[in-house]
Structure 1
Amino acid sequence: MFAKRLLCGFFFVFFSQYATANLLISPTRVSFDERQRSAKVTVINSSEEYRTYRVVWSEKLALPGGGYQTLSEPVTTSLSPMARLSPKQIRLAPGERQTIKIAIRKPKDLAKGEYRSHLLFQALPNEDKAAKAGLKVNMILSFSIPVVYREQGELPKVAFQTAEIVEDSVNKKPKIAVKLTEQQGFSSYGRLSAYITNSAGKQEKIAEIGNLSLYPEVEQATVLLDLFSGKQLPKQGNIELKYQGADEYEGVDFGSYSLPIRH
């Protein structure tokens, strides 16, 4: 029955400020703990025309290879049934900003665990001359960010399962494929970095993925790291992989892995 609720996949890349399709969103994720009951998200219309957005909750399932699959209704680990949004629709002039308020109303005897829903900004079509003439434009863009609440939260326990050097099927350049697991039932968040020891004997960063979360519903996540432009792998030595926490996990070392380079 759960599988029937799965609809379609969406993939998102997050930065410190999410900027896409004329909408700036900050922060790009919200994380509550047991002591926090409210948070704010700021959006800015960076286009040159008025924009209207509907602000709603969306339920998404994280996928092992990255991205999300959308669910048609909340599940037991959804945050939306205990969260309130204000306002639920916004109309922004060019350059105008708006604050969205999120309030948590935790039910009594809430079970230990992590609860997550995604805050969705759905663009509504603008009325223009074409629409008034009877021509309708039906393409509606939407952007979402994860909102997480942890009840009796614990530090995530992350483990590196495997890592290997693979070849990109298109450009034939090497990539680093890493398989990770989280065993505590609470999502991690941080950056996965790859280092080599260069000819000068110093550690050099050659690849990194920021804003990386491992969610409880994913038994094993597969992450691909592209080498930075101009970086190459040495003929021998090791690649040192480090997964380090960010935001509420700043200063936490989730784990490391040493990958031998073999040609």
Structure 2
Amino acid sequence: MTKYTRAALFSKVIAVLTALVLSTFTYADLMISPTRVFLNDGARTFEVNLINTGKQARSYRVEWKQMAALQQGGYRELTEKEKSQYSSLERFVRISPKQVSLAPGGRQTVKLLVRKPGGLQSGEYRSHLSFIALPSNQDNTTKNAGSSISLNVLMSYTMPVIYRVGSVVVNPEITDISLVHKKQTGITNIKVDLYHDDLFSTHGRFIAYWTPINGQTRQVGLLNGYNFYPEIKSATTQFPWQDFKLEPGKLEVRYEGQGEFVGLLLSQKSLTITQQMINSVK
């Protein structure tokens, strides 16, 4: 692991902002487990379990999508030109079946099978498995004054599937910590800036600890399931500080591995808040 310089943090000023956009992703009537797939030479097959939790029969098309990570979270679809330059795995991972029909409460397993081609270069290959709801005869239709308006909303859920070749070396670094306050709600978020120059992604959680002056250390924040992908060198994420109180002390943020990285401390950094800093923002 990289060693970090903490001296620069001592002069960090708390950033006070007036707006914060939070994104949420929802999908209806479909339970998927797991929500992330990791494959390698020791695990070339995988099963994704689907359950229809709704009251109507549903069918889903299962297909690959090529998506790139965004610096501040989320994804975007690749252009056709970008797809030819991207290390996707759809060409050598088979999906079976490619369409499923689920009765209410019904279950189905989608299998992934790796057929590794010869001469595959070391590195990380990723595509996103997409479950797209197909229209059904039971979808809502609103009738008014002799006309009808179809309200078909095709829900979909997309999950990353990762296959790694070669020796995996990762060295992500938390480069900065600051606080972001939203006046409208009174919520204070812990903002974490990251950097890496790795060929492989990392998967883990951010956990924040607060130690007030002459007080005991306690956990004040948690963000699970964070992915840091190779196509972005710098990234930013935020998560709430529970029961925030502006007082002198030390905030420590740890990026701890999950999944195939469980048990590893991927990165850590501290922010010391002094009384002088508090006075400067009052």
- Verify same fold: TM over 0.5: yes
Summarize the Cα distance change of 1:23–1:185 in structure 2 as closer, same or farther, 3 Å threshold.
Answer: same
The reply on whether 1:177 has 2:187 as its aligned counterpart is no
- For 2:170, give the aligned amino acid: P
Q: Which has the larger radius of gyration?
A: 2
Aligned to 2:67: 60
User: Could you tell me whether the CA contact under 8 Å between 1:181 and 1:214 is conserved in 2?
Assistant: no
Distance (Å, rounded) in 2 between the aligned partners of 1:189 and 1:223: 14
Distance (Å, rounded) in 2 between the aligned partners of 1:135 and 1:57: 31
TM-score scaled by structure 2? 0.81
The reply on whether 1:29 has 2:43 as its aligned counterpart is no
- For 1:24, give the aligned amino acid: M
Pairs aligned (count): 245
- For 1:86, give the aligned amino acid: S
The reply on whether 1:127 has 2:137 as its aligned counterpart is yes
Mapping 1:146-157, distance limit 5 Å: 146-157=160-171
- For 1:48, give the aligned amino acid: K
- For 1:161, give the aligned amino acid: T
Which moved further from structure 2: 170-179 or 36-45? 170-179
Aligned to 2:123: 113
**RMSD of Structure 2 on Structure 1 (CA):** 2.1
Aligned to 1:250: 262
Aligned to 1:188: 202
User: Could you tell me whether the CA contact under 8 Å between 2:175 and 2:195 is conserved in 1?
Assistant: yes
CA displacement at 1:83 relative to structure 2: 1.0
Q: Say which structure, 1 or 2, has more relative contact order (CA 8 Å, 6+ apart).
A: 2
* SS of residue matched to 1:81: coil
Distance (Å, rounded) in 2 between the aligned partners of 1:179 and 1:101: 36
- For 2:30, give the aligned amino acid: L
Structure 2, unaligned stretches of length 5 or more?
Answer: 1-22
Aligned to 2:108: 98
CA displacement at 1:27 relative to structure 2: 0.4
Aligned to 2:20: none
User: Could you tell me whether the CA contact under 8 Å between 2:210 and 2:219 is conserved in 1?
Assistant: yes
- For 1:21, give the aligned amino acid: A
User: Could you tell me whether the CA contact under 8 Å between 1:154 and 1:184 is conserved in 2?
Assistant: no
Distance (Å, rounded) in 2 between the aligned partners of 1:195 and 1:129: 48
